[in-house]
Amino acid sequence: MLDSFGRKIEYLRLSVTDRCDLRCQYCLPKKFNHFLEPESWLTFDEIERVIRLFSELGVQRIRLTGGEPLTRKNIVELAQRISTVEGIDDLSLSTNATRLQHLAKPLKAAGVSRINVSLDTLDNANYRRITGGLLDKALSGIDAAYEAGLSPIKINMVLMKGINDHEVDEMVTFCMARNLTLRLIETMPIGEPGFEATAQYVNLQSIENRLAKKFAAVPGHMPGGGPARYLKAGESGAHIGFITPKSQHFCETCNRVRLTADGQLYLCLGQNDKVDLATPLRTGVTDDGLLNILEQAILAKPEKHEFNDKPYQVLRFMSTTGG
């Protein structure tokens, strides 16, 4: 499935809920509670149908995301259903890990192979300040994921000046000691909290250069369909990733689209272009009709985001689109 810029689209990020049990300061406002009503969420049957058709068009990878995907009831059953769709050979999950302690094993058994975990700090007070939650819960979740054999486990650290940028080296050491792959991420101007986080934006270039020297690192590679650039540390062989949507965008290799919990297909994280799948799904569209809608949608995928030129155009929160 090629878009109009010749990019092969083979990756769907599926937001299963816009709800989250944390309020990361760059993602959701502290007291925000105005979420989609569950009646509007796609049912598991609807999701499975859309994924089956995407798979016919060449999508092979699915990532469960949100919101916090593990807050969706019966998420293990959904994972099981998706992982057995013909043609889907990579099912992964983005999570804040707060519920992984109990869910890691069943998710692995249901076919989730690898996970990304948000972890911006190793300091209890700082974690509370950034997310509103408890660090211990996330750390126990990461331990449980490791024990369950989910691999690789990638740690996503959104870097913010004066908030957690002094913790990079500590996080590198933490991850190396536990066989976790750290990825540093630049803040994106998405929704009001994302706009506000622009004030703490850190360009990762100089950090990448410094870590490359410190660890005698060379360019590396990790499995996964995402946009990170990796360094491989000389001695340990550990990988450190850099996701730089603002300082060095990667739109020319973008291979994905995103489906929200209420069935809106967003064609670019940083643009407002979307196609409604919920209405046709609920008004009797045939498989051929839906395939046609998906194909037309892919052809309308924008060339690139405009985070630098038009930083205030994406008003929806990251938790809506699914990170």
What angle do helix axes 135-148 and 124-131 make, rounded to 10 degrees? 100
What is the footprint of ligand SAM within residues 16-55 (CB under 6 A)? 20, 24, 26-27
Are 323 and 96 spatial neighbours (Cβ–Cβ below 8 Å)?
Answer: no
H/E segment holding residue 276 = strand 274-276
- Residue 55 or residue 94: which is nearer to ligand SAM going by CB? 94
DSSP state of 252: G
The answer to whether 176 touches 128, Cβ cutoff 8 Å, is: no
CB of 86 to ligand SAM, least distance (A): 27
**Shortest Cβ distance from residue 256 to ligand SAM (Å)?**
13
323 in contact with ligand SAM (CB under 6 A): yes
Which token pair is 155?
């740690």
Q: Is 14 in the site for ligand SAM (CB under 6 A)?
A: no
228 is an interface residue for ligand SAM by CB under 6 A? no
> Is the CB of 21 or the CB of 56 nearer to ligand SAM?
21
3-state SS assignment for residue 235: coil
Local structure of 71: helix, strand or coil:
helix
CB of 144 to ligand SAM, least distance (A): 16
The nearest distance, CB 320 to ligand SAM, in angstroms, is 9
Our finding on whether 164 is near ligand SAM (CB under 6 A) is no
Question: Taking CB under 6 A as the rule, which mask of x and - marks residues 74-103 in contact with ligand SAM?
Answer: --------------------xxx-------
Give 15 or 80: the residue with its C-beta nearer to ligand SAM: 15
Nearest to residue 103, comparing CAs of 136, 140, 128?
A: 140
248-307 positions binding ligand SAM, by CB under 6 A: none
Minimum CB distance to ligand SAM, residue 244 (Å): 11
d(C-alpha 301, C-alpha 12), whole Å: 13
- What residue has token string 């996970």? 115
Size of the site for ligand SAM (CB under 6 A): 22
From the list 39-47, 62-70, 161-169, 210-218, the region that binds ligand SAM by CB under 6 A is 62-70
At 44 the three-state DSSP class reads: helix
Residue 158 engages ligand SAM in binding (rule: CB under 6 A): yes
Instruction: Give least dist CB 22 to ligand SAM, A.
Output: 7
Q: How far apart are CA 221 and CA 248, in angstroms?
A: 18
A 10 A CB-CB count for 244 gives 18
Segment near ligand SAM (CB under 6 A); pick from 61-69, 73-81, 261-269, 293-301: 61-69
For residues 215 and 203, what is the distance between their CA atoms, to the nearest angstrom? 20
Written as one string, the DSSP assignment of 80-108 is: HHHHTSTT--EEEEEE-STTHHHHHHHHH
Site string for ligand SAM, 182-221 (x = CB under 6 A): ---x-xx-x---x--x------------------------
CA separation for the pair 310, 227 (Å, rounded) = 21
Which residues are at the interface with ligand SAM (CB under 6 A)?
A: 20, 24, 26-27, 65-66, 68, 94-96, 118, 156, 158, 185, 187-188, 190, 194, 197, 318-319, 323
